[in-house]
């Protein structure tokens, strides 16, 4: 007996088969490009997703596919897919990086239960009503990406609270705000009824089963957004469990038993279980380090097997005192948590003649770590006591990065033995929906985790973090006026 998890991402679709004990048996992924037909637009034809799913499924062993008993879904948050009464897409899906609705955010005046961004379903649907009435007139349902995929496989028209609460059209619990919808002139009847992420949401159709090499009639879980699925797949099961993920951007997720208090710049959403989670979302992690590495002309390090090997070594060889007078703001693409400033920008300040390339790279690593600390401090300000974090993806290829993070964040870091957390979490939802697992089993399904770093009590790094915060406060007025959010 096994379970299939599907993670519908922005740039790729990943599938994973998990056995009855929660162990990953096979994984496959297919990448695709994002369409930008106009400046600021971010779209994907839903058929691109369908073909990617078929291709990814075909890469899984046939014997394992025949053993699948249920399917769970994970999907990119915030975007929206419009379909007509026959289930056909009215237009390409609009996705979270889309900024076409930036000028419409005043329709969500402060205070809001969560930050509102232009790529969320609410602003995008408001844009559709105002600028594409022909699309609006054909629309029967406005679905989240993972919900579209489940419907395409024969599932029910439903959504779950974890996705609904991130649309800017629902209350923090995920219940649709009909008064807001009517004020925005978005038809309330477009929105699917709510069901728990772990509830059964239909069964696999014969046609879809043939396309994927699976058995028809197996259970389809309602599914959840990718962040709560990744949290579930990484083993977050109890109040206070916390996870740090770093990629292009960074996210810190802390599970909560009840609705957290609102804090500016901090998201509080529903989890894939009956929990909530606090989330700090930082846009400039890998993207800032990659750009700094390129500016400083570091080449791909064959000896390390990654792009940052030489940069790590050079930065680590720089005495800490040499970096004291140099600060790097990593905000190359604006920032969400904690500043909510899409116009924030970055750079080095404090350069002197004695500084070297290694000094600049060390400051870049520290600046990114400090931006993550600012996000974690927002979570701490909301009442969460965070002293340790699970680190997604098994840590880092270089132990010096987790150690710097542990010192900057003042937390222990435990690398999770799970490289495909979101599809694994989706597969677990499939197991819950089919009745194989129950909520009481979630803690036991947590993957192993190894402590990779602990804070060393470095007073100097605390001083540099204070300097980092002070510098941002001093230069914020340099940036263009921040749009109202």
The predicted-structure confidence for 284-342, as pLDDT tens digits, reads as follows: 998 899 889 889 887 655 444 455 667 777 777 776 655 668 999 999 988 989 998 88
In a domain, 448, yes or no: no
423 part of a folded domain: no
| 52 token code pair | 């990617």
User: Considering 167, 194, 227, which residue would you say is the last residue of a domain?
Assistant: 227
Tell me if 445 is assigned to some domain: no
Q: What is the mean pLDDT of residues 7-14?
A: 93
Contact 107, 30 (CB under 8 A): no
Return d(Cα 54, Cα 435) in angstroms, integer: 26
Last residue of a domain, one of 176, 206, 227: 227
389 and 471 belong to one structural domain = yes
- In a shared domain, residues 82 and 157: yes
* Residue 440 lies inside a defined structural domain of this protein: no
Among the listed residues 317, 292, 323, the one whose alpha carbon sits nearest the alpha carbon of residue 307 = 292
Task: Give me the mean pLDDT over the 205-211 stretch.
Answer: 97
DSSP H or E stretch at residue 288: helix 286-295
- Asked whether residue 159 falls in the same domain as residue 272, the answer is no
312 and 199 inside one domain: no
Mark whether 265 and 192 lie in a shared domain. Answer: no
413 touches 243 (CB < 8 A): no
186 plus 258 within the same structural domain: no
Residue 194: count other Cβ atoms within 10 Å of its Cβ: 20
Number of domains in the chain: 2
Closest C-alpha among 94, 88, 83, 119 to residue 35: 94
Residue with tokens 């790097």: 328
What are the structure tokens assigned to 231, written together? 């949290």
Identify whether residues 137 and 254 lie together within a single domain. no
Give tens-digit pLDDT for 24-70.
999 999 999 989 999 989 999 999 999 999 999 999 999 999 999 99
Asked if residue 321 and residue 398 are part of one domain, the reply reads yes
Range of the domain at 32: 2-227
Q: Which of 227, 247, 262 is the last residue of a domain?
A: 227
* Each residue's pLDDT tens digit, 147-196: 999 999 999 999 999 999 999 999 989 999 999 999 999 999 999 999 99
Give ∠ CA 353-358-360 in degrees, rounded to 5: 65
Residue-wise pLDDT tens digits, 83-124: 999 999 999 999 988 989 999 999 998 888 898 889 999 999
Other Cβ atoms closer than 10 A to 460: 12
Q: In this structure, are 208 and 288 located in the same domain?
A: no
- Quick check: is 145 in a domain? yes
Q: Look at residue 32 and tell me if it is in a domain.
A: yes
Verify that 177 and 253 share a domain, yes or no: no
Same domain for 139 and 27? yes
**In this structure, what CATH number is given to the domain that contains residue 33?**
3.30.420.40
User: Is there a single domain that holds both residue 352 and residue 408?
Assistant: yes
């Amino acid at each position: 007996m096994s379970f299939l998890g599907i993670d519908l991402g922005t740039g790729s679709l990943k599938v994973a088969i998990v056995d009855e004990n929660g162990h990953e048996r096979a994984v496959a992924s297919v990448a695709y490009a994002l369409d930008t037909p106009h400046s600021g637009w971010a779209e994907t034809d839903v058929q691109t997703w369908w073909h990617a799913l078929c291709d990814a499924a075909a890469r899984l062993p046939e014997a394992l596919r025949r053993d699948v008993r249920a399917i769970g879904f994970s999907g990119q948050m915030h975007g929206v897919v419009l379909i007509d009464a026959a289930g056909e897409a009215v237009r390409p899906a609009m996705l979270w990086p889309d900024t076409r609705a930036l000028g419409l955010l005043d329709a969500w005046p402060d205070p809001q239960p969560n930050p509102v961004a232009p790529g969320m379903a609410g602003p995008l649907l408001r844009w559709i009503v105002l600028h594409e009435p022909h699309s609006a007139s054909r629309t029967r349902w406005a679905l989240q990406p993972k919900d579209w995929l489940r419907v395409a496989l024969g599932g029910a028209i439903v959504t779950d609270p974890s996705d609904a609460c991130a649309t800017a059209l629902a209350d923090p619990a995920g219940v649709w705000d009909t008064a807001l919808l009517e004020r925005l002139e978005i038809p309330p009847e477009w929105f699917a009824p709510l069901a728990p992420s772990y509830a059964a949401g239909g069964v696999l159709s014969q046609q879809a089963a043939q396309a994927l090499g699976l058995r028809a009639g197996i259970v389809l879980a309602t599914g959840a957004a990718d962040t709560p699925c990744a949290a579930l797949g990484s083993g977050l099961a109890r109040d206070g469990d916390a996870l740090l993920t770093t990629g292009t951007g960074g996210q810190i997720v802390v599970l909560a038993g009840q609705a957290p208090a609102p804090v500016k710049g901090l998201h509080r959403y529903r989890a894939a279980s009956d929990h909530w989670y606090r989330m700090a979302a930082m846009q400039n992690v890998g993207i800032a380090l990659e750009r700094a590495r390129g500016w400083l002309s570091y080449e791909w390090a064959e000896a390390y097997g990654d792009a940052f090997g030489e940069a790590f070594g050079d930065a680590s060889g720089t005495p800490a005192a040499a970096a004291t007078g140099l600060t790097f703001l990593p905000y190359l693409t604006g920032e969400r948590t904690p500043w909510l400033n899409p116009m924030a920008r970055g750079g080095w300040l404090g350069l002197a003649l004695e500084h070297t390339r290694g000094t600049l790279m060390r400051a870049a690593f520290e600046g990114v770590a400090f931006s993550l600390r600012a996000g974690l401090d927002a979570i701490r300000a909301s009442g969460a006591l965070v002293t340790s974090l699970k680190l997604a993806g098994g840590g880092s290829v270089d132990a010096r990065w987790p150690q710097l993070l542990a010192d900057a964040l003042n937390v222990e870091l435990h690398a999770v033995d799970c490289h495909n957390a979101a599809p694994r979490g989706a597969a677990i939802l499939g197991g819950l929906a089919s009745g194989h697992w129950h909520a009481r089993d979630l803690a036991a399904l947590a993957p192993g985790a190894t402590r990779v770093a602990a804070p060393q009590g470095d007073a100097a790094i605390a001083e540099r973090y204070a300097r980092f915060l002070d510098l941002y406060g001093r230069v914020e007025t340099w940036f263009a006026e921040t749009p109202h959010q």
